[in-house]
Structure 1
């Protein structure tokens, strides 16, 4: 898939914001991410990065609004029931299996 330079920059800045949140032991959620991106934009002097940060905030807010209307959307393609089944499976490990 071909992505533009601006799309790549936007994704890089989202990643940077997530790392900053993690470094500060903050919660990783849409609200915290949008807030961190806004704070980054306030201190940014490069117009290209400012535009990418604004686009990132808009994307995160759009996804947040969508997830509020459809909570299943935030889970993506994951099946919670299948995960629960895997984590609560009562099968015992085989004796000849060490790992």
Structure 2
């Protein structure tokens, strides 16, 4: 698969995730987009698309880490719905909780690393 095909599929995947959020009346935010992408990754039968979804998730997380705008956010499925717990504001968390290295299981489906 060449670079332009990968970029096209990447755009398609992000579009699908945003449309799914709109259809369910969810806010279009980085955390909700990441949750949706992780759900798509977990349910995608095609290995190549799963790989691209993982790359999209990693790219978004890497940009957030570089920007240092967000702290880790806990995401859990409660009563059949994805719910967020925690704060997005880095100032509201202890300084030791701001480091992404404090969350070694960042790839788990129930946790969004930012």
TM bucket by the smaller chain? 0.5 to 0.7
Q: What is the CA distance between 1:25 and its match in structure 2?
A: 0.6
| Corresponding residue pairs, total | 69
Residue matched to 2:83: none
Q: 2:4 aligned with 1:4, yes or no?
A: yes
Q: What is the CA distance between 1:48 and its match in structure 2?
A: 1.1
Structure 2, unaligned stretches of length 5 or more?
Answer: 70-114
TM-score by length of 2: 0.54
Residue matched to 1:35: 35
Task: Show the 5 A alignment for 1:72-91.
Answer: none
Which structure shows the higher strand fraction? 2
Structure 1, unaligned stretches of length 5 or more?
Answer: 70-99
Paired residue secondary structure (1:4): helix
The root-mean-square deviation of aligned C-alpha atoms, in Å, is: 2.1
Residue matched to 2:89: none
Large movers: runs of 4+ above 4 Å: none
Greater gyration radius: 1
Q: 2:65 aligned with 1:65, yes or no?
A: yes
Change (3 A) 1:30 1:66: farther
